[in-house]
Amino acid sequence: MKLLTFLYQGQRHAGVLSGDRVIPIAEINARHGTRLPDDLLALIQTSAEIPSDGAASLPLAEVRPQLPYETPPKIWCIGLNYRSHAEDIHAVQPEEPGSFMKPASCMFQPGGEIVLPPPEISRDVDAEGELAVVIGKTCRFVPPEDVRSVIFGYTTTLDLTALDVLAKNPRYLTRAKSIDTFFSFGPVIVTADEVPDVDALEVITEHNGAVCSRDFVRHMRHRPYELVRFHSDFMTLHPGDVLSTGCPKGARIRPGDHVRARIDGVGTLEARVTQGYRS
């Protein structure tokens, strides 16, 4: 099942994507007598089945997809998980997952704008298309054989880095990774049952209509199931947590550019690039 959050007639709703149509949760409730929450994060937290057959739908062209939810409980990202990305920025891949967290304040809406910081703050930003895992159950110390059962689904992300800021002190990622509009995910979350072989997915970053980088999940140094298991050893994972698994190579972006993350079988996420200035 493919789930999303959308705007329709000025109101925000959760729904199911079916081809080129969207089935609102409110219509599912009306058809089946269910009481599903009209909120995607709440849907993930309840783990309820969603019987979408027979419910009225809307044309996808008439709605505006949004962030699946605006405040994920946690946003984990993994750096240098592909060899090509490490080589691109002249870095060494870490033995353990190179994980860091991002604040929800750095997110932008799917299809919206990446606003580059003023030039005096950064002049070298890259955008990285990635696959993300969405956690479906509260869990800790998850054994390898149980990882699949705690994953709700998968989505696409765009993760940005101010590379010149990072170069000033490579040990500390927070400032370089957390500038406003430096992260987005969605707009679609695909449930785990629709992705039988995660390792076979190909992660693609497109820059101004051309492919900048592409590689398969199976070539990651630390693959998605292992990333979930590893991070559950250090802290409790909660429904709605987003774990973005890394990019083969980032696209250096400038004002006026267009960037897109594409993962066939999961979705696409795109953005326009503009320039910010001090007020």
pLDDT tens per residue across span 107-127 = 999 999 999 999 999 999 999
pTM of the prediction?
0.94
* pLDDT the model gives residue 257: 98
Across the range 195-223, mean pLDDT stands at 95
Residue 236 shares a structural domain with residue 265: yes
Compute the half-sphere exposure of residue 246: CA atoms within 13 Å on the CB side of its CA: 27
Tokens of 48: 């309820």
Residue 20 shares a structural domain with residue 135: no
In this structure, how many other beta carbons lie within 10 angstroms of the beta carbon of residue 13? 21
* pLDDT the model gives residue 90: 67
The residues, ordered by sequence, that sit 6+ positions from 62 with a Cβ below 8 Å of its Cβ are 8
Q: What is the mean pLDDT of the chain?
A: 94
* pLDDT the model gives residue 91: 67
CA-nearest of 23, 90, 89 to 51 is: 23
Residue 49 shares a structural domain with residue 79: no
Tokens of 76: 């984990």
* pLDDT the model gives residue 42: 97
Does the pLDDT value for residue 94 go beyond 80? no
Domain hosting 103: range is 75-275
CA-nearest of 80, 71, 86, 33 to 55 is: 33
Residue 99 shares a structural domain with residue 220: yes
Does the pLDDT value for residue 31 go beyond 80? yes
Domain end, chosen from 41, 66, 91, is at 66
Does the pLDDT value for residue 83 go beyond 80? no
Kindly state the percentage of the chain with pLDDT values over 70: 98
Does the pLDDT value for residue 52 go beyond 80? yes
Residue 61 shares a structural domain with residue 109: no
Look at the chain and report how many structural domains it folds into: 2
Residue 60 shares a structural domain with residue 80: no
pLDDT tens per residue across span 241-263 = 999 999 988 999 999 999 999 99
Across the range 51-79, mean pLDDT stands at 95
Q: Which residue has the higher pLDDT, 133 or 91?
A: 133
Domain end, chosen from 66, 100, 119, is at 66
Residue 89 shares a structural domain with residue 54: no
Local confidence band at 133 (pLDDT 50, 70, 90 cut-offs): very high
Local confidence band at 166 (pLDDT 50, 70, 90 cut-offs): very high
